[in-house]
Structure 1
Amino acid sequence: MSEITDVPVKLPAAVEGFVMHWGNLGGQWGVNRSVAQIHALLYLSDKPLHAEVIAETLGIARSNVSNSLKELTGWNLIRRVPISGDRRDHFVAETDLWEMVTRIAAGRKEREIDPAIAALRVCAAQAEDDPAVGAVARRRLKAMLDFTQTMEGWYAQMLHVPHATLAKLIRLGSRIVRYLPVKPEA
């Protein structure tokens, strides 16, 4: 994106398209559209932006921008940066895609997976002690808990794999699968 100053800019079509599309995707992922649009704008910006420019550029209310910036800061997807001679807060986005995805995954795990595992543990334990709960329900609760804990364990392992190694593993894709013994499901 070209230089961004204190004046709102007319975004190039590709940038505007990405910002709008990212906003729509955010809505599908359970993220407020404005939050996602601001993230997209900051991600593509080559200069730190302050809230007024963001609000004017995207046509979003200043209060909405402020709340969205707080949310993005809480997710550790953006950070404040000082600009010499300007007392306003300016923001930049994390631009390393691996780091960004890792932070999003960590936030979602904390907000969604951890509470789900805690609830499943309680429900599975209660089901084991309650004769009114049928064997099928007990088995399915245990299977869901086991699956969720397995995925949590895999996630924890992947956090320690260097990004370059993860990228290689992902690119290998189906070439790895052909070396694994695959049994047809019943």
Structure 2
Amino acid sequence: MTETADTTRKLPAAVEQFVLRWGDMGGQWGVNRSVAQIHALLYLAEKPLTAEDIAETLGLARSNVSNSIKELIGWKLIRRVPVLGDRRDHYEAEADLWLMLTRIAEGRKEREIDPMVEALTHVLAAAEGDPTLGKVAKTRLREMHGFVSTIDGWYGQMLTVPPATLMALIKMGTKVVGLLGLGRKPPPS
């Protein structure tokens, strides 16, 4: 994370570890490491930071920071905020975890799920009219389309559930299944 001691600011150990770990996780999720590190830094920052502050703190090139900021603004995970007496742009991260999670999920859905639903819809339409396609392939395409469409619909429904209610459901875990009587039935004796 540090190029040289002269070009970076010293971060508290916990902040540095969070920035490093968030960057690693971002890389595993297909997000550029610098983008994830900048997000982590802004998320824990006490006050809005300039791009220069970010570049200096993380030891990143200014151009890398600018591109990363554009990406984070596009995801609506950070925003530009005015600071009285300073003409430079300052940035802060969305601090509401549910809003942050929702925005990430919406972005991933738009980039990954929506194109998959559209592609499967076209493939399924072509498959239904293809007499050369076997029964197994048609059945599995219908199942895949049904599954992905159901997940897509469920996601849309979950966006309407208030965060406090959603958190309560999450904390209940498998108890919800038992309450609804949807658990596995014991095998007949």
Distance 2:72 2:85 in 1: 25
- Secondary structure of the residue aligned to 2:114 is helix
Equivalent position of 1:131 in the other structure: 131
- CA offset digits 1:43-82 (Å, max 9, x no partner): 0001000001101111111100000000000000000001
Equivalent position of 2:166 in the other structure: 166
Equivalent position of 1:145 in the other structure: 145
Equivalent position of 2:41 in the other structure: 41
Distance 2:165 2:71 in 1: 31
List structure 1 segments (4+ residues) > 6 angstroms apart after TM superposition: none
Q: What are the within-5 Å matches in structure 2 for residues 1-186 of structure 1? A: 9-179=9-179, 180-183=181-184
Distance 1:42 1:165 in 2: 28
Contact 1:43-1:95 at 8 Å conserved across structures: yes
TM-score if structure 2 supplies the norm length?
A: 0.91
- Secondary structure of the residue aligned to 1:76 is coil
Q: Tell me the amino acid that sits aligned with residue 102 of structure 2.
A: T
- CA offset digits 1:108-133 (Å, max 9, x no partner): 11111100100000001101111121
Q: Once the 2 structures are TM-superposed, how far is the Cα of residue 183 of structure 1 from its aligned partner? A: 4.2
Identify unmatched segments of 5+ residues in structure 2: 1-6
Distance 1:89 1:24, change over 3 A: same
Q: Once the 2 structures are TM-superposed, how far is the Cα of residue 134 of structure 1 from its aligned partner? A: 1.1
Contact 1:8-1:54 at 8 Å conserved across structures: no
- Secondary structure of the residue aligned to 1:178 is helix
Q: Once the 2 structures are TM-superposed, how far is the Cα of residue 175 of structure 1 from its aligned partner? A: 1.4
CA RMSD, aligned part only? 1.3
Contact 1:26-1:32 at 8 Å conserved across structures: yes
Q: Tell me the amino acid that sits aligned with residue 164 of structure 2.
A: A
Distance 1:97 1:181 in 2: 30
Contact 1:50-1:91 at 8 Å conserved across structures: yes
Equivalent position of 2:3 in the other structure: none
TM-score if structure 1 supplies the norm length?
A: 0.92
Distance 2:60 2:80 in 1: 20
Q: How many residues align?
A: 178
Q: Once the 2 structures are TM-superposed, how far is the Cα of residue 8 of structure 1 from its aligned partner? A: 5.7
Distance 1:26 1:64 in 2: 16
Q: Tell me the amino acid that sits aligned with residue 84 of structure 1.
A: L
